């Protein structure tokens, strides 16, 4: 096990700690931060992780700020006598949350042979009484995603009244999940990469979130 810190970077708690554990030359785990574990999702109708807010939506890899004390699975690990490289997938954090989403919504429709076909999907909890902020998202009709719709300038017209959805949920899902009419799963990998020089019981080098300094324990 190696432990240390990320230079000039802080996770949501204010910690800069990182722990790297190899279980074999090509596998292991990476844990960020030094606070109690981020709780697993319990209510799948609210954004996850709780309180992550804008970090979920920020471009790049800042979402890892919200993922402390989670053993991320090491991928693409390579060890050499004086060098070690590996990566983790930020979106691993949303595996359980995405799998549990049940209301699939169509974000975009296209016309194919005169039939309206949704071709971009997301998920979101219904938000009764929330008003129209996110009513552009249309819930798929019962019986399947394909249905006749009138055309307006070559673009599909929504076949039913817009279904209000929770805007925060929809944004989280659109960024962290990949959906189809049959369900959702976590999005394609958002890798954080590490490339470290090893000298004795110390390792240092670059990562996607900053320079890393580790010492073997």
Gap between the Cα atoms of 97 and 41, Å rounded: 6
Q: Are residues 28 and 71 in the same domain?
A: yes
CA distance 207 to 179: 30
Structural domain containing residue 86: 2-93+189-216
pLDDT band at 163 (very low <50, low <70, confident <90, very high): low
Cis peptide before 49 (omega within 30 of 0): yes
Residue 109 is predicted with a pLDDT of 67
Residues 89 and 168 in one domain: no
Specify the number of domains making up the chain.
2
Contact 40, 96 (CB under 8 A): yes
Q: How confident is the model at residue 147 (pLDDT cuts 50, 70, 90)?
A: very low
104 and 181 share a domain?
yes
Q: Are residues 127 and 195 in the same domain?
A: no
Check pLDDT > 50 for residue 149. no
Check whether residue 51 and residue 71 sit in a common domain. Answer: yes
Neighbouring C-beta atoms of residue 185, cutoff 10 Å: 15
Q: Report the range of poorest mean pLDDT among 32-46, 96-110, 112-126, 188-202.
A: 112-126
Comparing 40-49, 84-93, 203-212, which segment has the lowest mean pLDDT? 40-49
Return the CA Rg of the chain: 21
Same domain, 105 and 174: yes
Whether 163 and 110 share a structural domain = yes
- Same domain assignment for residues 11 and 71: yes
Beta strands 177-180 and 155-156, pairing class = unpaired
| Same domain, yes or no: 63 and 168 | no
Residue 158 vs residue 90, higher pLDDT = 90
pLDDT score, position 160: 46
- Asked if 3 and 15 count as a contact pair (C-beta separation under 8 A), the reply is no
pLDDT in tens, 106-130: 766 677 776 667 777 777 766 554 4
Can you read off the two tokens belonging to residue 121?
């999907």
Task: Report how far apart the first and last C-alpha atoms of the chain are (Å, whole number).
Answer: 6
- The 10s digit of each residue's pLDDT in 51-101 is 776 555 554 446 778 888 889 999 999 999 999 999 999 889 999 999 998
What DSSP assignment string belongs to 36-93? SPPPPPS-TTS-SSTT-THHHHSSTTGGGGG--S--EEPEEEEEETTEEEEEEEGGGG
Residue owning tokens 């209301």 = 103
Cα angle value 53/38/74 (rounded, 5°):
105
Q: Do 87 and 194 have their domain in common?
A: yes
pLDDT score, position 126: 60
Angle at 138 between CA 135 and CA 141, to 5 degrees: 145
Whether residues 154 and 198 share a domain: the answer is no
61 shares its domain with 23: yes
């Amino acid at each position: 096990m190696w432990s240390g810190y990320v230079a000039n970077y802080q996770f949501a708690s204010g910690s800069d700690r990182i722990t790297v554990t190899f279980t074999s030359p090509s596998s292991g785990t990476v844990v960020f931060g030094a606070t109690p574990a981020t709780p697993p999702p319990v209510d799948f109708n609210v954004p996850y992780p709780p309180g992550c807010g804008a970090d979920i939506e920020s471009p790049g890899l800042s979402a890892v700020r919200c993922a402390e004390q989670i053993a991320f699975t090491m991928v693409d690990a390579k060890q050499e006598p004086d060098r070690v490289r590996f990566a983790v997938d930020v979106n691993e954090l949303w595996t359980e949350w995405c799998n549990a989403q049940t209301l699939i919504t169509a974000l975009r429709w296209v016309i194919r042979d005169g039939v309206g076909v949704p071709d971009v999907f997301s998920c979101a909890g219904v938000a009764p009484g929330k008003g129209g902020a996110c009513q552009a998202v249309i819930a798929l009709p019962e019986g399947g995603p394909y249905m006749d719709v009138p055309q307006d300038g070559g673009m599909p017209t929504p076949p039913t009244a817009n279904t209000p959805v929770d805007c925060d949920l929809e944004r989280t899902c659109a960024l962290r999940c990949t959906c189809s009419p049959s369900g959702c799963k976590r999005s394609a990998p958002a890798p954080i990469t590490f490339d470290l020089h090893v000298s004795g019981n110390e390792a240092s080098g670059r990562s996607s979130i900053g320079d890393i300094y580790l010492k073997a324990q």
